[in-house]
Amino acid sequence: MDTSTTGMTAARPPWGPIENTDTPVRVLNRLSEVMDARRPMCPTDTLKASDARCLSKMSDKWWISSPNVDVVPQFPIHDPGQVFKLCADAMLGPFELWKWPQLYDESLPHGMASPANPDVLKCDDDQRVLPAFKDLQVAWWHFDSRDFVPCADIPGAAIGQLQSGVLSRLRDALAEVAEMVHNLDAKHNVDQPLDSELVRNKHRGSSRYVWQLIGKLSSALARLEEIPMTTFDIAQWFREVQRLLLEARAWCIYTDVVVPRLADPLTSHANNVLPLRGVFTGRLSVAERLFRCGIPVWWIRPAHTLTNRTTIMRVHPVLPPSVHFNMREEMKHGRHTMVAPSWLKSSTFDNVSESIADQLRPYSLSGRPTLRKVEAVWLEDSNVTGHHEQDIEPLAVCVGGSSELRIEQEDVSGRSHRGAPVENLQSGKPPAFAVALAPPAPIQKPVARRGHGEYDFPLSVMQAMDEVSSGVAKRRKTQSTAVSNWRQPSMLPGHPSSNPVTRILPVAQPSMGWVDVSPAQTHHSSQTTSPRPQLYSLPPAHLFYSEGSLIGERFHNWLRIRMYCLAQATDPPADGRVLMTTNQWRMALEGKYYALPYRSLVVQPVSLPTDIARLPSNPDVDPSTLKRTRELEDGETHEACSSGERRRFKRIADRIDVNVRFGVHARFTPYQAALTMPSWGQLNVTRAVADMDRTLWGEVVWELTVMNFRLEFLDVDQDLLPALYAEEDTSHAARRQNDLKHIWSPHGYLRPMWCTCRTDELGAMDWTVRRHAFVQWARAMEGWPSACLQCNEEDLQARDHYDAFECKVVEFYCRAFYQQRARLPTVPLVCPPSMVRHIIHEG
């Protein structure tokens, strides 16, 4: 860190001995003397680092001069009394580390090599020394409301994404700099025989740093691509992508151009000033070295260093940051405005003691975990709430034989209930590990025991897992036909012998890597004294295994609220409240976001009365015909009510809260089939399509299982590594989450980006592709308690060795997840082949 500017005591000139001349040295004490000392540069003159091509007054005791730049930008000094805030353009003004010259920072040497701000330094790379970037302006331009596309499926049009052309431009810049980093890393970071261990470690550290930087850049861009956000959030992430892109380019320039110049003290490049960001420094020795290398440099010098022997060509006021930044505090996009958010409190910022980059990095968007810890939308009160049996779902994942797969049926009254097992409806048998698609079996006691240990999965699941483990070899040969053969033709919609009301969603195959796993081998947990409702960020997929009109209604309503729910799950609000029980999701998928009559003494929703009052009345229902809750007798409490009454009160309160969340906060109108046409990829889905399109059903359920699996994995990781996520420096937790998302996506996507053909390596059909992802997954879970997943990818070249390793990884994850959630995790399904119809070919 350059700290010489902090000392204000007078000292002798630090640049060395003064030239011998007949003219005595005289300090220029007054401004008039400085102005009189100006003179043009003669052809025979040679400037030194202590000379001033441009000079600006900083204070009575300090000046700033540059020997190779014609302007002096304003030196960034933070006022301790002010809160550190973003500006209206979502940037930090003069504290933009890569867009405005900063104080020389030894911990970030490549900062000086960031491409020059075009509004500060107007010079070209005439000798073509710098790497040639195809799109120089991509890191400098400002997007506006015309580049913002509102999401049509989210009411209010205040949430959306950037135009595909903008995203493609950023993606091309990322691909270019990543390739350049790869080439330079291979070229410059090769150990030489004469290199010391210190030099080799420096090379390795630089390589690790830049690849982590590329990973952060990829993840930041992925967030812009995959998550609908407000224009203000998009603006902040857009600027973060630009910062990371500039830093990656700075590393390339520093490694390829600046480092060789610094290493050659005998060659001067002072006459070839590079168009780079440059630095301020309080040390003349640093200024001399950078001046020789052709790096823009500004020396913060004591006033007494200005003498009659100093060449002064120009005296000019400092260049304000407003030439490039919008310094106002109000952010405005279209008709929407908001006050720019604060980054950190002024008390935590220090101008002196440490690097500005080190202080700002933990507060940057890429320096914080992107997925917050999530909580239930409505906190449960166990003293008032009686659990309904449909809420208690310790096994939201799968179940294995057909005896476990049940569907929801609709009776003539329009109310759903649990139907008969699927095996009674068809003679075929679904795959034994139909994960996440079946409503869970009720808890069975006692807990099963097997030989050497005690396990806390219910008996029904233990039996299902037995079926899986005993049929490994057989299924490996027949897995390609298992899905298509399990249902008889008579069960297909439209078959003459089929029930016209029965439309059963086919059981999809679990993702490769999960098919042959028997995750029942887990040690008995000490808790689980009473069952608790299970919570999900998105609807559990088994809700869509219905029949009658329920199946079309649920799919159609889900597509209507899908983008809102995905935005909430992938970018949780500050309080993290996005989780709902299965029963609450069931209510949400009905879409009946109407007001309900209730008595507040017995029904106690969590929502505010003012929000409840905003719910619309159902025009098709006469309130006088609705069944009402009875009044409590004098002195009677909720505890005195029967368990059935308490459950009914809870269901009414849940329905009111669900209606407020979606009808008031999210502004969805009550569901009307004829007026609803949500999108799925490039398709607009009518109710008729939702009722009958089996291909659509499979695609939607697949996406839900993949998303729930990823969200659950990232969330339980925070539970199992609490110390990491509780660190004040959040950069380590952010790096951890980025690494986890790269397990299944090379680009760091959280969502399965099926419209752009982004590969899910963790669910790949080809085991050689899947192997690398599973090795990454195992290494990521090595930090979890009781993990023993050490592996070497070179030892997994044989298929049988890899299969055993794959089962070991999945079994460990299931055990660890169950001990945290008292249920099995959601397991992703195989991507349906029909998803190729949605791919949008870029370019």
When mean pLDDT is compared across 66-75, 314-323, 512-521, 797-806, the lowest value belongs to 512-521
Which H or E run contains 85? strand 84-85
How far is it, in rounded angstroms, from Cα 665 to Cα 748?
30
Helices (H) and strands (E) in the chain, counts: 19, 21
The region of weakest confidence among 323-337, 695-709, 800-814 is: 323-337
pLDDT-derived band at 413, boundaries 50, 70, 90: very low
Higher pLDDT, 299 or 149: 299
Rg, Å, the chain Cα set:
33
* Between 522 and 32, residue with greater pLDDT: 32
Comparing 662 with 500, which gets the higher pLDDT?
662
Question: Is residue 204's pLDDT more than 70?
Answer: yes
Distance CA 76, CA 82 (A): 14
With a cut of 80, say whether residue 431 has pLDDT above it. Answer: no
Amino acid 601: pLDDT = 67
207-211, 361-365, 430-434, 720-724: least confidently modelled range? 430-434
Report the distance separating Cα 813 and Cα 802, nearest Å: 17
Q: What is d(CA 293, CA 270) in angstroms, rounded to the nearest whole number?
A: 6
Confidence of residue 229 (pLDDT cuts 50, 70, 90): confident
pLDDT above 70: residue 399: no
- The Cα–Cα gap between 710 and 752 comes to 10
DSSP 653: H
- Mean pLDDT to the nearest integer, 783-798: 88
Tokens of 192: 């030489």
pLDDT of 745 strictly over 60: yes
The DSSP bridge pattern shows strands 577-581 and 375-376 to be parallel
User: Is residue 210 scored above 80 in pLDDT?
Assistant: yes
Confidence of residue 351 (pLDDT cuts 50, 70, 90): low
Give the ranges where 104-193 is alpha helix by DSSP (H). 164-188
- The pTM of the full predicted model, rounded to 2 decimals, is 0.79
The predicted pLDDT at position 835 comes to 87
pLDDT of 709 > 90? The answer is yes
Q: Percent of the chain scored above 90 by pLDDT?
A: 37
Q: Lowest-pLDDT range, 152-156, 285-289, 416-420, 571-575?
A: 416-420
Mean pLDDT of 403-427: 39
Q: What is the pLDDT of residue 427?
A: 31
pLDDT digits (tens, 9 = 90+) for 503-540: 445 556 777 778 766 544 444 444 444 456 789 999 99
456 pLDDT band, cuts 50/70/90, is: very low
- The arithmetic mean of pLDDT across residues 702-722, rounded, is 94
Does the pLDDT of residue 576 top 80, yes or no?
yes
Residue range 471-480, pLDDT digits in tens: 433 433 443 3
Distance CA 232, CA 294 (A): 39
Which residue in this structure is represented by tokens 């009414």? 652
pLDDT bracket for residue 1 (50, 70, 90):
very low
Name residue, tokens 């049009």.
Answer: 157
Considering the chain, what is the average pLDDT of its residues?
Answer: 77
